[in-house]
Amino acid sequence: MTSFPDLIPLVDPRSVAIIGASPNHAKSPGRIASHLLDGKFDGELYLVNPKYDEIDGRRCYASVADLPQSVDLAVVMIPADSVLAAARACAAQGVKYLIIMSSGFSEMGDAGEAAQQELTAIARESGMRIYGPNCPGYLVMHQRRAISFSPRLDIESWSPDGRTALITQGGAMGRAVIDAMESHGSPGLNYWFSTGNEADLQAADFLGWLADEPSTDTIVMVLESIRDGRRFMEAAALARDHGKQIIVLKVGRSAAGRQATATHTAALAGRDAVVDAALRQCGIIRVDDIDELVDLARILDRYPVREVANVGVCSLSGGSAAHLADLCGTYGFNVESPTTATLQKLQDLLPPLAAVGNPVDLTTGIFSSPELVGEALKVFISDERIDALVMPFPYQLGHINHVMAEKLAEVSRLFDKPIIAVAISESMFEDPAADTLRAVRVPYIPSATKAVLALKRYASIPSLRRTGTWRPTPTPTNVAPLAGTGTLSEESSEAALTEYGISFPPSKVASSVAHAVATAERLGYPVVLKAAGDGLAHKSDAGLVRVGIADRAALEVAYHEVCAAHGSLVGGTRTTVKVVRMVTDGLETLCGIAVDPSFGAIVSFGLGGIYAEVLGDIALRVCPLTDDEARELIAETKAFPLLEGARGGARLDVDAAAEAVAALSRFGYEHADQLAGVDVNPLKVQTSGALGLDALVVLAEQEEL
């Protein structure tokens, strides 16, 4: 199991050295000390730069070696070609954490990558942890501490009450998120970590530390890559177990760069789909842009997580109410009327022209009695059938918008059900009503679609927490290595998988036509005939399979055809074939293993046979899985309704399929370091049992020692 570093010496250092300090506060190196002192830092601060004897009245040291003590934190912002020497000097002095803001490393090509690898080696050899390089530092808002060179920090305005932490890898994206949060007035941030090139510390390390950090409730992340997928998942599971919700914007959804390998599974399991699967397994919500990230974070900042099925819509505009009701239905919410008692209360309370139900249309008749808005909202949202309330502000209405916002704010204090205000037009985002809502942290979202999408993602959290229960599995030990190289024969592949509990129909390899006939008669017709031996992938495509062989004559023809097809494909004369008892009933599905460079072994399931690539029906999980987790995986696919007996079909053995998928996931997990991929395609799921009809294990090329 992974342990995560104690970041206290980094985020709350008692001593800091700034290497490359400058008296010019208009330049980046000169701003670092200024920001630290603006935040009332009360520890020891040392400035290091051989060019100066003192800066702003503080002694300036020529080198780290001259400091009177070893420090918790050193910050480096000097030219890249001087960074390695500074890092070695810091390690020699026992510095605990080193922040390297300097750029010019892996982002600059081979030479920069080599220098960054040296930084990694320094960290590993010395025990000094390195943050960066090519990073903007960090912000600790609730303590008003900034280790940053940013020219725009209003440290005095930072709230001590924020409970949302932000982790990014790029500084610009981090600033974009912070700007969006500040413009909305929520959520309140407590930390921002921006990890840069991650020569040593990764985003996962900060996630793991925040998992049990007591001032953090929600963790939002903007990631360009996940370097160590298993480590990331362990950190996420730890945060989930401490009741913290994680929201991730992971860039790079395109299929560019995907490499097909020798198995169907690897071709179908695109890199981004693996990220999706891993995030879901850990109960993480993935969003697609910064607005979505901030909108959801604002809802979580204001309301406790709860089930939301039926959404109430209330407006003084029938059109905007209908628009929101449509969107709620599109995103899978119910928009059902409240109870009869609530309807009667609303009818008694509101003007005669008001439409009572769901939506509730207050109409412009409310202008004459604006005080009724609050009473109507209380009655509506208190109804047992209403799980959340959405209220649009359609256009500039002056005083009535102010009244509506005040009443909505008042009601929000009385109920913990989510209340979302929606600006139908952009002009409404600047309406004074927005300030009223921001003051009480009622999410005010400038788009009907974005508002409902954010509510939908919020509503998915309870279910996600029930299913996203991934936990780290101990590293397997004493696992016998797989014998062979490259693409194993079907027979060797089956033998290896059988050891893990995957079943195959009876079969035997035959080396002559007479042997094949004798084998078929012993197994019983009909049979299937395949070419046998190593290095044969996708036999059906190569014409190396014959099915439905019903008698001896057909078998003899098939034998010669398969041998001839093999000879034309690779040369030579083949006499070795595999005779298999034919399985006719059941549904063809596919399960397989791909090996992801970050997350390791990935198991997949979907419709199989010729439909595997045509329909692309595939669901993925990071290995290994339990039988229950495998069943959940199967339930995500288009195959599942067919397995359950859709349209009058036979109900097939989903439990047996789940057991096979779980067994394959264990095989993949225990042999991930040897595998390039595995296919069991098709896996025939029957009314009782599940049989693999074809198996392909491809071993990865091993580096020579």
DSSP 624: P
For the chain, list residues with pLDDT below 50: 256-270, 705
State the pLDDT at residue 1: 63
- Determine how many CB atoms are found less than 10 A away from the CB of residue 534: 14
Q: Strand, helix or coil at 287?
A: strand
Is 148 exposed, middle or buried (CB count within 10 Å of its CB: 0-12, 13-18, 19+)? Answer: buried
Task: For each of the domains in the chain, give its residue range(s) and CATH number, in order of start.
Answer: 1-136 (3.40.50.720), 159-302 (3.40.50.261), 306-467 (3.40.50.261), 506-581 (3.30.1490.20), 587-699 (3.30.470.20)
Largest CA distance in the chain: 101
C-alpha closest to that of 134 among 101, 109, 106: 101
State the pLDDT at residue 265: 42
Render pLDDT for 597-614 as a digit per residue (tens, 0 to 9).
999 999 999 988 666 666
Pairing assessment for the beta strands 695-699 and 690-692 based on DSSP bridges: unpaired
The answer, as to whether pTM is greater than 0.85, is yes
C-alpha closest to that of 686 among 631, 626, 628, 645: 645
Name the strands in the sheet holding 507-510, side by side, starting at the edge strand that comes first in the sequence: 507-510, 577-581, 527-531, 545-549
State the pLDDT at residue 649: 83
CA atoms of 72 and 18, how far apart (whole Å): 12
CA atoms of 248 and 271, how far apart (whole Å): 16
State the pLDDT at residue 612: 60
CA atoms of 17 and 69, how far apart (whole Å): 10
